[in-house]
Amino acid sequence: MTAMQRTVIKHPASGYLIVAFVALCATALVRSPIQLLVYLIPLAGAAFLARTATVVDERGITAQGLFGSQLVTWDEIAGLRLDPSGSVYAVDRSDGQVRLPCIRSTRLDALVAAGRGRIPDPAKNPG
């Protein structure tokens, strides 16, 4: 059996255009050296885009946040839950839920394909 390839699902790179636009708009607000702190807002946005991801590998699914990560192993995963707002949660056997960043109900194909059959497709098996 071949080793499972690591798949990283991140926010689209076009999100950095929004960060650049916010930084450009913040330039209009900066009139003194102390107001340079306004640039922390787009910097935080760029850090969020760079850090948050959902990683699927041979260990399981890892939800990486800005300040930490949480792993749900393949043995623990019971399925996925789709929230009405579009968020996707990995549900473990003890009914715990981990929100999967960068995954929306409209982008499930990449997650299901990366799981190589270990993740049931909730679009095909509702309920």
CATH number of the domain bearing residue 13: 2.30.29
Provide the domain count of the chain. 1
Range of the domain at 66: 7-114
Query: What's the mean pLDDT in 9-18?
Result: 95
Query: pLDDT band for position 3 (50/70/90)?
Result: low
Give the Cα separation of 50 and 89 in Å (integer).
21
Q: Model pTM?
A: 0.81
Residue 125 lies in a domain: no
Q: In the chain, which ranges are continuous DSSP H helix?
A: 15-27, 40-51, 108-114
Residue 52 lies in a domain: yes
Residue 119 lies in a domain: no
Q: Is the pLDDT of residue 13 over 50?
A: yes
Query: pLDDT band for position 115 (50/70/90)?
Result: confident
Residue 12 lies in a domain: yes
Model pLDDT for residues 39-61, shown as the tens digit of each residue: 999 999 999 999 999 999 999 99
Residue 2 lies in a domain: no
β-bridge partners, 97: 91
Residue 1 lies in a domain: no
